[in-house]
Structure formats: structure tokens, C-alpha cells
Structure 1
């Protein structure tokens, strides 16, 4: 039964498109999905930043997805090595979430993946 529940929660992360989303990759957003409306005020600044400055959100995601390494994020984004570090700092300034800290990174990922992803809370 848990497998069906997990699959249903992660289904919302596909944005209605035919793509594969693994529960192991989307568990955080899927688990919080039922509380999205209640938690939304906590992420207002970050969602606004992700929508208006998508390159900052992309840097946060690349940083998280590439071993918390600004250099690896730069390679993944095809940017100069200093650009992700600047973008992470700018994200922190705009949102109050420091993606270089554990809590700040988790909050940033929730804001980007749960509230700003395709088909998510708007």
C-alpha cells in the first residue's frame, strides 16, 4: 500500500508530462505536497526569485545536484567557475535562504521544486 501512496505523491511531480520521476529523487517535494498551501507563505520570496531570476534557481539546483560544488555546477551550466558562487550569494540576498547551509539548501529546493516546478502551486 505504501508503494501506491508513494507513486501517487510523486505523480504530482511530473507536471502532467510523460516523464519518469523516481520517488528517491522527489520524496521531499512529494511528502510536503499535501501541506503545500499551509507552507506557501514561508517560500514567497524564494518562489518570486525563482520565477523572475530563473538563472539563480538553476544555479541552486545545479549546486545541489552536483555534489554541493560550485565548480561542478559551473561545468554543468557551462558557466565561468565564479558564476555559480555569485548566483548562490545573490539567491541568499533575495530569498534569505543560504543554499550553502543545510536548512537553506532544503528550503531553497522546496521553493524551487514544490512551488515553482511545472504544474505546482501558483
Structure 2
């Protein structure tokens, strides 16, 4: 697949050459989307079961890159990073504040546990 895309062949043609794979376009997302979930262990009903894995693989790619094959319960997937869009500035500031709050809380808990262990 990488060779086909490097040779600037259309994605659909490359997928057919790779054995009739199916392309699935995913809406833009950020890794921090899950912070807003009320119950982080429960996935949203309209989200594929492997979405978190797709997000993690996507985070490692630059635009135009293709991931390795990632096996999953019902087969697997390959991620092609089409482009990166900048996050919404207002939502970014809100999410940044939540991440900083979570980071500081975890750091306090870690320091407290270390203090308790050393006593």
C-alpha cells in the first residue's frame, strides 16, 4: 500500500490492488475528546470499538504517512493520515485547562503516595 501511495496512485486503486480492502473515512477528532466523557470506560454508541486504537495510531503519523497493519477483533486496520487540522482555539483552551488540572491532581497523588510509602 505504501508503494502505491508513494507512486501517487489513487487510494481506491491502491486498495483494490492490496486485495480489495475497504476505505472508511473518519470524522476529525482529537485525542482529548475522551476527557469530556462522563464514563470513560463506556464507549459512545456511534463510535467503532477500535476507535481509541485508531486515535493512538493516528497520533504517531504525519500527513501522508501510512501505518502498519494493526490486528483487531474482526480483522484489523491500516491508517492513512490525510491531513491534520488545528483544534478549535476556544475548545483547546478549555481542554488544556482540564489536562493541567488532571496532571496536577495526579502529581499530588503521586507525591502523597511516595510520602506515605517512605513513612
Q: For this structure pair, what is the TM-score category when the shorter chain's length is used for normalisation? A: under 0.3
Structure having the larger proportion of residues in helix: 1
- State TM-score, norm by structure 1: 0.25
Q: Which has the higher contact order (CA 8 A, sep 6+)?
A: 1
TM-score (ref. length: structure 2) = 0.25
